[in-house]
Amino acid sequence: MKTLPLARLAAAVVAALSLAALAQDKGVSKPELNYQAAPLSMGTEPMVQSINPKAPPMTKAEFDNAQTIYFQRCAGCHGVLRKGATGKPLTPDLTVAKGTDYLKIFIAYGSPAGMPNWQTSGEMTEKEVDLMARYIQHDPPQPPEFGMEQIKATWKVIVPPAQRPTKKMNSYDISNIFSTTLRDTGEVALIDGASKKIISIVKTGYAVHISRLSASGRNLFVIGRDGRVNMIDLWMDPPANVAEVRIGLEARSVDTSKYKGKLGDYTDKLAIAGAYWPPQYVLMNGDTLEPIKVVSTRGMTVGKQEYHPEPRVASIVASHFKPEFLVNVKETGKTLMVDYTDLNALKTTEIGSAQFLHDGGWDSTKRYFMVAANNSNKIAVIDAKEGKLAALTEVGKIPHP
């Protein structure tokens, strides 16, 4: 069957569907587009092309190009496996029945539910829209897993603990240093808060998502979107990397243990990082980043209690009241209170709140952690002392800290 030119096809169906009008009124702003469709770094990872005989044909070059575009533009909402996340599922059992022309309309013009108008906004060409309409009718390629063997192969101790400074070797006030992400170069710039001058530029993973200080304030832990964790010693002159490891193919969160009390002193003894893909978190030695334990987050969602194959690890914070990490899992809508006192007999308290948990922050007492469930339009309040959900509050559209 011959595919009609997009402009001609649109003219024929817009009167019935009012898609053009809806696209103009749906209110997807540029900042919202950038947030919702934030690119994933794993689009260039090797994946196997799976041919669906019912789908329109694609060459290997077209498939590879579409895969890159999908991970740059679409996977953040629709999921790595296209089973849906904040956006709807785009699996072949749904897309093939719609047909290429129908799919092109929605990709080009968007929808009132929040789908960006990719072509009319100038973000995609008509050729790219056609490419993506065909691509999503084929089976989604699954990225490789990234288990302990692969993680350990990336682990490097650049400066062993015994060779690191025993006192601060520079004159900077390390409590007044900004860690600034240099997104596209895969670096962070450390800026002196007093003079506003750059102290040093440190090589990191791609597009560092978060920088976290150790409990002591000496070490800076950063994680790139590509899953690479770097440990930067702020006592060195200039501050520099002392260890690194990659904990997944796509990641967002890192922290160190903060508890000191009756149950022991765990200050900076452990580090933790969470991945979008594979959906897992990794516990590491706090001095060297040596990976110790990998834990999957695949499981059942709150509410419908359906299995989800790729629940991404969002924010992770360390409790000050107990030797626990709070691991927020996006698609399942659960906060995992991970007790790290015995990694061989790991105990986890599972607190269900709302799907699409993202990021948040502590109250002034560091007892209550408030985390935004963005596409549920809720904020969950976790009581770190009692280990329970303290509140679940309805808020405005797409809360984000």
Of the candidates 295, 277, 379, 396, the one whose C-alpha atom is nearest the C-alpha of residue 343 is 295
Strands 324-329 and 334-339: what pairing?
antiparallel
Which residues, 6+ apart, have CB-to-CB distance to 327 below 8 Å? Answer: 272, 274, 281, 297, 313, 316, 335, 336, 338
Sign of CA dihedral 51, 54, 57, 63: negative
Instruction: Give the 3-state DSSP-derived string for the chain, with helices as H, strands as E and coil as C.
Output: CCCCCHHHHHHHHHHHHCHHHHHHHCCCCHHHHHHHCCCCHHHHCCCCCECCCCCCCCCHHHHHHHHHHHHHHCHHHHCCCCCCCCCCCCCHHHHHHHCHHHHHHHHHHCCCCCCCCCCCCCCCCHHHHHHHHHHCCCECCCCCCCCHHHHHHHCEECCCHHHCCCCCCCCCCHHHEEEEEEHHHCEEEEEECCCCCEEEEEECCCCCCEEEECCCCCEEEEECCCCEEEEEECCCCCCEEEEEEECCCEEEEEEECCCEECCEECCCCEEEEEEEECCEEEEEECCCCCEEEEEECCEECCCCCCEECCCCEEEEEECCCCCEEEEEECCCCEEEEEECCCHHHCEEEEEECCCCEEEEEECCCCCEEEEEEHHHCEEEEEECCCCEEEEEEECCCCCCC
Residue found under tokens 């062993």: 160
Catalytic positions: 74, 77-78, 115, 358, 400
